[in-house]
Amino acid sequence: CLGHQAIGQVFGGVVRRAGAPVHGKTDRIAHCGSGLFAGLPDPFIATRYHSLVVDSELPAELELTAWNHQGIVMGVRHRELPIYGVQFHPESVLTEYGRALLGNFLSLRAAHNQTPPEEADRAEEADHAE
């Protein structure tokens, strides 16, 4: 959750104290249904451990991807870069579908790390031209 808060702040968002600390509590998380949340039920139960939150007025670079019934930001993604953050803890045993969410993250990272075919073709042509 600290990484999520750092992403919010680095891109110009406001991180503030939550109305009350939330430690070891579960919550229903609604989401956009894509990216990290592809294939997950909407909503699902996740575990929260935090006393800070990213303000719901997000900077232009960030897109809201998950929220709770109170409208608290539970997930963001950068609109152009492969940067994702969640306020809840997918690694907690009390979080439903935490493994699936982490699997989605790994798939997104793997897809980003692959060289696009057109770049590979240009590199091969440059090698043959030498």
Assign residue 59 the CATH number of its domain.
Answer: 3.40.50.880
Q: Say yes or no to pLDDT of 129 above 80.
A: no
What total number of domains does the chain contain? 1
Q: Which residues are catalytic?
A: 1, 89, 91
Residue 91 has pLDDT above 70, yes or no: yes
3-state helix, strand, coil in the chain (%, to 5): 30, 35, 35
Confidence of residue 111 (pLDDT cuts 50, 70, 90): confident
Q: What is the pLDDT of residues 40-73, one digit of tens each?
A: 999 999 999 899 999 999 999 999 999 999 999 9
Task: Flag whether pLDDT at 116 surpasses 80.
Answer: no
Provide the pLDDT for residue 125: 54
**Can you give the residue range of the structural domain that contains 66?**
2-129
pLDDT over 60 at 84, yes or no? yes
Structure tokens at 11: 């891109």
Taking the C-alpha atoms of residue 7 and residue 108, their distance in angstroms, rounded to an integer, is 17
Among the residues of 11-116, which ranges form H helices? Answer: 98-113
Strands annotated E in 32-83: 44-54, 62-67, 73-78
Residues 12-34 pLDDT 10s: 999 999 988 889 899 999 999 99
Query: What are the φ/ψ torsions at residue 94 (nearest 5 degrees)?
Result: -85, -10
